[in-house]
Structure 1
Amino acid sequence: MTDAPVPFRDPRLPFAERVADLLGRLTLPERVAMLHQAAPAVERLGLAPFRTGQEALHGVAWMGKATVFPQAVGLGATWNDELVRRVGEAAGREARAMRAREPKVGLNVWSPTVNLLRHPLWGRNEEGYAEDPHLTAALATAYTRGLRGDHPVYWRTAPLLKHWLAHNHEWHRDTASTSVRLRVLHEYELPAFRGPVRAGTVIGVMPAYNLVNGRPNHLSPLLESELRTWTDRSLVVCSDAFAPGNIAGSQGYLPSHEEGLAAALRAGVDSFTDDGPLTLKRLNGALEAGLIDPGDVDRAVARLLDMRFLLGEFDPDLDPFAADAAFDTPEHRALALEAAEQAVVLLKNDGLLPLRPGTRVAVVGLLADEVKLDWYSGSLLRRTSPLAGLRERAGADSVTFAEGADLVRLRAAGGGWLRVPPAPEAPRAEAQAALDPALLSGRTDLPALTLTGEEAEATGLHLIDWGGGVLTLRAPDGRYLSAAGDGLVRASAEQPGGWVVQETFSLEPHGGGHLLRHLGTGNHVWVAADGLRVAAPPEEAGPEGEATAGAAGEPGAPQAGEVFFVETLERGAEAVARAAAEADVVVVVAGNDPHINGRETEDRRTLALPPQQERLWRAAHAANPRTALVLTSAYPYAVPEADATLPALLWTAHGGQAAGTALARVLFGDVSPGGRLPQTWYAGDGELPGMLDYDLIAARSTYLYYDGVPLYPFGHGLSYTAFDYTALDVRLDGEELTAEVTVANAGAVPGDEVVQLYARALRPSVPRPHRWLIGHRRIHLAPGEERRLSFTVPVGETFGFFDVGHGRWTLEPGPYEVQAGASSRDIRRTAAFALAGEPVPPRPVLRAGLAAASFDESEHIELTDLTPESGDAVTRAAGATSPATLRYLRCDFGQGVTGVRLRAARGEPGAARVELRLTGAEGTGSGITLTVPSTGDDYAYATISAPLTGLASGVGEVRLTLHGAVRVDRLEFDS
Structure 2
Amino acid sequence: MRANLRGSKLTFLLLLTGIIAGNRSMAQTNDKPLYLDYTKPVEARVKDLISRMTLEEKAEYLNHKGPDIPRFDIKSDKWNQSLHGVVWTQPTTMFPVSIAMAATWDPKLVYNEASAISDEARAIYNGWHNDPDFKGEKKGLIYRSPVINISRNPYWGRINECFGEDPYLDGRIGVAHVKGLQGNDPHYLKLVSTLKHYAVNNVETDRTKRSATVSERMLHEFWLPHFKDCIVEGGAQSVMASYNAINGVPNNINHMMLTDILKNKWGFKGFVVSDLGGVNTMVNGHEKGQMSYEEAVAKSINAGCDFSDKEFMQYIPVAVNKGLLSMAKLDESLSRVMRDRFLLGEFDPQDKVPYSKIPMSIIGSSGHIALALKAAQESMVLLTNKNHLLPLDKNKIKTIAVIGPHANMFTAGGYSGKPIDAINPMQGIRNRMVSGTEIIYAAGAQITPPHRANAPAFDKEAELQKAVDAAKKADVAIVYVGTTLNVEAEDRDRTSLGLPGNQEDLVKAVLAANPRTIVVLMNAGPLTIPYIKENAPAILEAWWPGEQGGNAIADALFGNINPGGKMPLTVYASEAQVPSQDEYDVTKGFTYMYINGAPLFPFGHGLSYTAFAYSNLKLSAKQIKTSGDITVSFNVKNTGKVTGDEVVQLYIHDVKPSLKRPMKELRGFERVTLTPGQTKTVKMTIPSSRLAFYDEKIHDFRVEAEPIDVMVGSSSEDIRLKSQFEVVN
Corresponding residue of 1:673: 563
Shift, 1:190, TM fit: 0.7
Alignment of 1:249-260 (within 5 A): 249-252=284-287, 254-260=290-296
Shift, 1:120, TM fit: 1.1
The one-letter amino acid of 2:727's match is L
2:631 paired with 1:728:
no
Shift, 1:738, TM fit: 1.1
Classify 1:230/1:673 alpha carbon distance in 2 versus 1 (closer, same or farther; 3 Å): farther
Query: TM-score, normalised to structure 2's length?
Result: 0.91
Alignment partners' CA distance in 1, 2:677 and 2:90: 47
Write out per-residue CA displacement over residues 369-391 of structure 1, whole angstroms, 9 at most, x where no aligned residue. Answer: 11112231211110111111111
Classify 1:465/1:337 alpha carbon distance in 2 versus 1 (closer, same or farther; 3 Å): closer
Alignment partners' CA distance in 2, 1:631 and 1:309: 45
2:373 paired with 1:337:
yes
Select which of 692, 705, 708 maps to 1:813. Answer: 705
Alignment partners' CA distance in 2, 1:785 and 1:364: 39
SS in structure 2 of the partner of residue 361 of structure 1:
strand
Shift, 1:780, TM fit: 0.7
2:119 paired with 1:120:
no
Classify 1:104/1:742 alpha carbon distance in 2 versus 1 (closer, same or farther; 3 Å): same
Corresponding residue of 2:100: 74
Write out per-residue CA displacement over residues 111-133 of structure 1, whole angstroms, 9 at most, x where no aligned residue. Answer: 00000010111011111101000
Write out per-residue CA displacement over residues 135-158 of structure 1, whole angstroms, 9 at most, x where no aligned residue. Answer: 001101001111111100101101
Alignment of 1:918-933 (within 5 A): none
Corresponding residue of 2:278: 243
2:533 paired with 1:651:
no
SS in structure 2 of the partner of residue 141 of structure 1:
helix
Corresponding residue of 2:17: none
2:207 paired with 1:195:
no
The one-letter amino acid of 2:317's match is N
Shift, 1:598, TM fit: 1.7
Select which of 86, 89, 101 maps to 1:60. Answer: 86
Shift, 1:324, TM fit: 3.5
Corresponding residue of 1:896: none
Corresponding residue of 2:21: none
8 A contact 2:712–2:719 mirrored in 1:
yes
Write out per-residue CA displacement over residues 915-936 of structure 1, whole angstroms, 9 at most, x where no aligned residue. Answer: xxxxxxxxxxxxxxxxxxxxxx
Shift, 1:611, TM fit: 4.4
SS in structure 2 of the partner of residue 249 of structure 1:
helix
Shift, 1:671, TM fit: 0.5
Corresponding residue of 2:431: 392
2:400 paired with 1:361:
yes
Corresponding residue of 1:706: 595
Write out per-residue CA displacement over residues 91-124 of structure 1, whole angstroms, 9 at most, x where no aligned residue. Answer: 0000011122346233111100000010111011
Alignment partners' CA distance in 2, 1:164 and 1:208: 5
Select which of 326, 329, 343 maps to 1:296. Answer: 329
Write out per-residue CA displacement over residues 158-189 of structure 1, whole angstroms, 9 at most, x where no aligned residue. Answer: 10100001001001001111111112111111
The one-letter amino acid of 2:241's match is P
Higher mean alpha-carbon deviation, 747-756 vs 311-320, is at: 311-320
2:77 paired with 1:51:
yes
Shift, 1:404, TM fit: 2.7
Corresponding residue of 1:93: 119
Shift, 1:231, TM fit: 4.7
Shift, 1:569, TM fit: 8.6
Alignment partners' CA distance in 2, 1:402 and 1:570: 16
Alignment of 1:542-553 (within 5 A): none
SS in structure 2 of the partner of residue 693 of structure 1:
coil
8 A contact 2:384–2:539 mirrored in 1:
yes
Shift, 1:806, TM fit: 2.6
Shift, 1:210, TM fit: 1.0
Query: TM-score, normalised to structure 1's length?
Result: 0.68
8 A contact 2:564–2:646 mirrored in 1:
yes
More strand by share: 1
SS in structure 1 of the partner of residue 354 of structure 2:
coil
Alignment of 1:302-701 (within 5 A): 302-315=335-348, 316-325=350-359, 326-350=362-386, 351-358=388-395, 359=397, 360-395=399-434, 397-405=436-444, 464-466=446-448, 471-472=449-450, 482=452, 489-490=453-454, 568=459, 571-594=462-485, 596-697=486-587, 699-701=588-590
Corresponding residue of 2:16: none
SS in structure 2 of the partner of residue 97 of structure 1:
helix
8 A contact 2:209–2:285 mirrored in 1:
yes
Select which of 829, 839, 858 maps to 2:721. Answer: 829
Classify 1:399/1:675 alpha carbon distance in 2 versus 1 (closer, same or farther; 3 Å): farther
8 A contact 1:200–1:231 mirrored in 2:
no
Identity in percent: 35
SS in structure 2 of the partner of residue 296 of structure 1:
helix
8 A contact 1:40–1:48 mirrored in 2:
no
Select which of 677, 685, 692 maps to 1:792. Answer: 685
The one-letter amino acid of 1:259's match is E
8 A contact 1:363–1:399 mirrored in 2:
no
Classify 1:289/1:163 alpha carbon distance in 2 versus 1 (closer, same or farther; 3 Å): same
8 A contact 1:803–1:810 mirrored in 2:
yes
Runs of 4 or more above 6 Å deviation: none
8 A contact 2:283–2:293 mirrored in 1:
yes
Alignment partners' CA distance in 2, 1:729 and 1:52: 53
Corresponding residue of 2:302: 266
Select which of 25, 29, 40 maps to 2:67. Answer: 40
Classify 1:31/1:720 alpha carbon distance in 2 versus 1 (closer, same or farther; 3 Å): same
Count of residue correspondences: 682
Corresponding residue of 1:229: 264
Classify 1:764/1:602 alpha carbon distance in 2 versus 1 (closer, same or farther; 3 Å): same
Classify 1:36/1:613 alpha carbon distance in 2 versus 1 (closer, same or farther; 3 Å): same
SS in structure 2 of the partner of residue 380 of structure 1:
coil
Shift, 1:610, TM fit: 2.2
Write out per-residue CA displacement over residues 451-481 of structure 1, whole angstroms, 9 at most, x where no aligned residue. Answer: xxxxxxxxxxxxx352xxxx11xxxxxxxx6
Corresponding residue of 1:211: 245
Write out per-residue CA displacement over residues 853-900 of structure 1, whole angstroms, 9 at most, x where no aligned residue. Answer: xxxxxxxxxxxxxxxxxxxxxxxxxxxxxxxxxxxxxxxxxxxxxxxx
Alignment partners' CA distance in 1, 2:501 and 2:183: 46
2:609 paired with 1:717:
no
Alignment of 1:845-860 (within 5 A): none
Classify 1:682/1:91 alpha carbon distance in 2 versus 1 (closer, same or farther; 3 Å): same
Classify 1:827/1:740 alpha carbon distance in 2 versus 1 (closer, same or farther; 3 Å): same
Show structure 2 runs of 5+ residues with no match. Answer: 1-24, 129-136
8 A contact 1:361–1:398 mirrored in 2:
yes
Shift, 1:570, TM fit: 5.5
2:317 paired with 1:284:
yes
Show structure 1 runs of 5+ residues with no match. Answer: 407-463, 473-480, 483-488, 492-502, 504-565, 838-975
Shift, 1:67, TM fit: 0.4
8 A contact 1:404–1:616 mirrored in 2:
no
Shift, 1:201, TM fit: 2.9
Corresponding residue of 1:930: none
8 A contact 1:627–1:648 mirrored in 2:
yes
Write out per-residue CA displacement over residues 556-615 of structure 1, whole angstroms, 9 at most, x where no aligned residue. Answer: xxxxxxxxxx79496221111111111111110001112x12211110001011241011
Write out per-residue CA displacement over residues 720-777 of structure 1, whole angstroms, 9 at most, x where no aligned residue. Answer: 0011111111225762221111111111000000011111111111100001011111
8 A contact 1:391–1:399 mirrored in 2:
no
Shift, 1:264, TM fit: 0.5
